[in-house]
Chain A
Amino acid sequence: MARHIMLAVRRIIPDGPDTNRLVLQDPDGWPLPKWKPGAHLDLQVPGIGPRAYSLCGDPATQESWEIAVRCEVNSRGGSSWVHDVLRQGDVVAVTMPRCTFPIAAEASRHVMIAGGIGVTPFLAMAHEFERRGVAWTLHLLARGGPPCGLALAGLAQSGRIRTHDTARQARPRWDELLDGGPTVGLHAYCCGPQAMLDGFAEATRDWPRGTTSIEHFVPPPLPAAEGAMQYTLRRSVTGAEMEVEAGGSMLKALRMLGAQVDASCEGGICGACEVRWLEGEPIHRDRVLSPERRRTHLLACVAQCASDRLVVEA
């Protein structure tokens, strides 16, 4: 199961419509581990389970971590718990940050397009871009007042933030948002509701591979697992084995074998259930692992297998 870090909610800052920004610190004031811009953590909601939130503070600050939570009308319980139950001084359980939405280190210019509360990972990235002295633009599309306006104010002097109130003005065209791309050195990012992500994917369909990045709120439909077959799943640590049917959940199988594997989204976008694989031929269906990472790791919640045996380090 997940190793949880206990952190104190030091401040709750109302920051935009229906949005609270939480400042989390170690209860004894020790500095916290470093993390990468674009990372998220799982907040353990009592009686409900883990809920993923992007870190939105300055990654250079180790005294605290910040997340922002918008109270959703159709909340599955996480955001309403944060807004209605959680109070300053409470202690919460979170996981270590995981970065599944990294900065493209090789790019010289970065365009970030956010829908509503999808701005959160870009706040952290913007701090990092400023520190590196690279060119960046953040487009924030929101109906009415933007979420995290106070946090954005700290970056306003950069002159690189464009807010678009889609309740008052027409939604900008994609070619306007994408800064004339694709061009050499430009990387585009998008985080927001599914319709926005679909629009972004369509608008950048012909961009060179590796010049765009998407962060999902909720897991998208899984791609087909062509070639998936029944296989013997083996834990390298204990030697325990079991048969897994084609289409079956490797995550559930590992847990049935006694492995303690974290999970959060269970849809291949958060990375919580990443495990190292040692033998076999996994079929990857996640949205976050790089081709290089897939050579050694898989996400157990969505992976299938194209060989009759798979050995994982668990």
Chain B
Amino acid sequence: MTETLASPIDVEAGASHRSTWTGTVAHLHVTARAFLPMRSQESVELVAGCGIVGDRYMLGIEQGFYSEKPEEGRQVTLFESEVLEAIGRDYKMELLPEEHRRNITTTGVPLNWLVGKRFRIGSCLVEATRLSIPCRHIEEILQKQVFDAMVHRSGLNCRILVGGTVRLGDEIRPE
């Protein structure tokens, strides 16, 4: 018997705009510099083509806010809350939402399937550019050996197409 691996998106032939998923915003975090602890937020302001106000990925206009490696396709980053649970289960290690160092922690969103796709976060529209990759830097910051646990499930980098306010609990859905 041959099984076909179905994407959570567009599983039904001919239903190109139907999807099998919707998710929510579980946590929001920003940080001013690459090494600083992430700060929890009730809401964040996404600026199209730039980043999140007050975050280190914000491109260009925010003096004093920087990432070590600015990247046009990494204006906002996402991470699955399900991965936090999986790391706890697989590695017996607690990784908290403020520790994975992505901006938006999602619930119910298959991030690894979304590269190249557009989706809504609340009223904002983003386009996924590539999967995030873990960096040893995170072990230095957290003083936890989390690098191996994050390989292949380290979240998603996105470009912001339509900006706006993202709040906790906002729906995330395909465009």
A, B from the same assembly: yes
Residues of chain A touching chain B, judged by Cβ–Cβ distance below 8 Å, are 3, 5, 26-28, 30-36, 62, 96, 99
Nearest residue (CB) in A for B65 is A28
Q: Which of A26, A27, A28, A33 contacts B141 (CB 8 A)?
A: A33
Minimum CB–CB distance from B97 to chain A (whole Å) comes to: 16
C-alpha spacing A34/B143, complex, angstroms: 9
Does B36 contact A99, Cβ atoms closer than 8 Å?
no
CB-defined contacts of A36 to chain B, threshold 8 Å: 143
Residues of chain B touching chain A, judged by Cβ–Cβ distance below 8 Å, are 31-37, 39, 64, 68, 137, 140-141, 143
SS class, residues of chain A in contact with chain B: loop
The 9 closest A-B pairs by CB, nearest first: A30-B36, A96-B140, A30-B32, A33-B141, A31-B37, A5-B35, A33-B37, A28-B32, A33-B35
Does A34 contact B35, Cβ atoms closer than 8 Å?
no
CB-defined contacts of B140 to chain A, threshold 8 Å: 96
Are A62 and B141 CB-contacts (below 8 A) given A28-B32, A30-B31?
Answer: no
CB-defined contacts of A5 to chain B, threshold 8 Å: 33, 35
Does A96 contact B36, Cβ atoms closer than 8 Å?
no
CB-defined contacts of B64 to chain A, threshold 8 Å: 27-28
Q: A26-B32, A35-B143 are in contact. List 12 more A-B contacts (CB 8 A).
A: A3-B68, A5-B35, A26-B33, A27-B64, A28-B32, A30-B31, A30-B32, A31-B37, A33-B35, A33-B36, A33-B141, A96-B141
Minimum CB–CB distance from B141 to chain A (whole Å) comes to: 5
Q: Which of A26, A27, A30, A99 contacts B143 (CB 8 A)?
A: A99
CB-defined contacts of B33 to chain A, threshold 8 Å: 5, 26, 30
Does A34 contact B36, Cβ atoms closer than 8 Å?
no
CB-defined contacts of A33 to chain B, threshold 8 Å: 35-37, 141
CB-defined contacts of A27 to chain B, threshold 8 Å: 64
C-alpha spacing A238/B159, complex, angstroms: 29
Nearest residue (CB) in A for B36 is A30
Does B68 contact A26, Cβ atoms closer than 8 Å?
no
